[in-house]
Amino acid sequence: MKILGIETSCDETGASVIEDGVKILSNIVASSQPIHIKTGGIIPEIAAREQIKLILPVIESALKKEGLKIENVDALAVTSGPGLVGSLLVGLETAKTLAHVFNKPIIPVNHLLGHVYTNWITKSKIKNQNLPEFPAIVLIVSGGHTELLLMTDHGQYEWLGATRDDAAGECFDKCARLLKLGYPGGPAIAVAAAKLKIQNAKFKIKLPRPMLKSDDFDFSFSGLKTAVLREIERQSITHNPKLITYLAHEIQEAITDVLVAKTLRAVKKYKVKSVLLSGGVAANDRLREKFLDTCYSLPTTKFFAPPKNLCTDNAAGIAACAFFNFSPLPWPELRALSSLTL
């Protein structure tokens, strides 16, 4: 079964064709990020207007790459939320129109679950390949969410915890802004942190690891951001590149320490077979490295992280999720589905 996925929840416009939920046939992502770099963050109205310009060319190139016609796909899958209302509306209305004109079923997909299902995508469709097994602990770390789930089957989730304030990606973004490292903050902090050894940057500053030892599966990152602000106020940081490098490294260590520790707690409690990392922050090398090291010491638990290009927003996970949770909406409900009702 070939599913055409469409994703427009934020500043990326994605279209992808996935076969049987695992094999990637095409994956096109266009981004309006260069515009948002100038403003240091996303202005929703501008992101939505860019989605309108990009959506049809992106869908066309996703189909063209495999010499496909929309008539040949079996279903459409589209992100129905959460996300920026104006951006979501563009994808939803496009998908609804295409489904109506070409008489295709349409499956609305939760954006966060789309991130999770990038862990099922491979380049081939080999039987018995190394796919995640249940039960699994799922950590979703994106710009707006930090969620820990227990997944016992496709469509079966138990919500274990989440951030009580800022998301992990949001913390990266806000700290990068404080350090004037640019947007998006996650990759900018990772690049700055990597210079630690070259610059031999050593300072006696230890940032907090919020809620590291709390007896639950919740997270909190706003205090970390405030601690960074206090350090910036205390030191004349703009004149000290070594201090910026050191703080970037310490921010990355603090965020990744907490994410790994809380996930490990859940892995041990629920004795799961797989750990699935997903969302934009999953592209962070240090986080992946710490997870690999940790799971190495757990012989019965396998660690999964999507390829880095599938960590940030894309439509491939949306199509994969739709395959494993195939539940097309009937037309009356579909017609009523709009990002304004989400």
From the list 30, 88, 138, 172, which residue makes contact with ligand KG4 (rule: CB under 6 A)?
Answer: 172
Instruction: Tell me the site size for ligand KG4, rule CB under 6 A.
Output: 20
**Interface mask toward ligand KG4 for 89-128; x: CB under 6 A:** --------------------------x-------------
Which option in Zn ion, ligand KG4, none does residue 284 bind, with CB closer than 5 to 8 A by kind?
Answer: ligand KG4
Which option in ligand KG4, Zn ion, none does residue 187 bind, with CB closer than 5 to 8 A by kind?
Answer: ligand KG4
Q: How far is the CB of 154 from Zn ion (least distance, A)?
A: 20
- Neighbouring residues of 99: CB distance < 8 A, sequence distance ≥ 6: 76, 105, 106, 334
Give the footprint of ligand KG4 on residues 227-286 (CB under 6 A): 279-281, 283-284
Round to whole Å and give the CA distance between 90 and 49. 9
Stretch binding ligand KG4 (CB under 6 A), from 69-77, 179-187, 195-203, 235-243: 179-187
**Interface mask toward ligand KG4 for 302-321; x: CB under 6 A:** ----------xx--------
Nearer to ligand KG4, 82 or 328 (CB): 82
Strands 136-141 and 274-278: parallel
The angle at the Cα of 309, spanning 75 to 122, to the nearest 5 degrees, equals 55
Round to whole Å and give the CA distance between 329 and 172. 37
Which option in Zn ion, ligand KG4, none does residue 144 bind, with CB closer than 5 to 8 A by kind?
Answer: ligand KG4
Q: How many CB atoms lie within 10 A of CB 56?
A: 13
Binding residues vs Zn ion (CB under 5 A): 142, 313
Give the footprint of ligand KG4 on residues 184-203 (CB under 6 A): 184-187, 190
Nearer to ligand KG4, 149 or 334 (CB): 149
Q: What is the dihedral of CA 49, 50, 51, 56, to 10 degrees?
A: 110
Can you list the positions of beta strands (E) in 218-328?
274-278, 302-304
Strands 146-153 and 156-162: antiparallel
Q: How far is the CB of 26 from Zn ion (least distance, A)?
A: 20
H helix runs in 79-221, sequence order: 85-102, 111-117, 168-178, 185-193, 196-199
In DSSP notation, 250-281 reads: HHHHHHHHHHHHHHHHHHHHHT-SEEEEESGG
Binding site for ligand KG4 (CB under 6 A): 10, 115, 142-144, 169, 172-173, 184-187, 190, 279-281, 283-284, 312-313
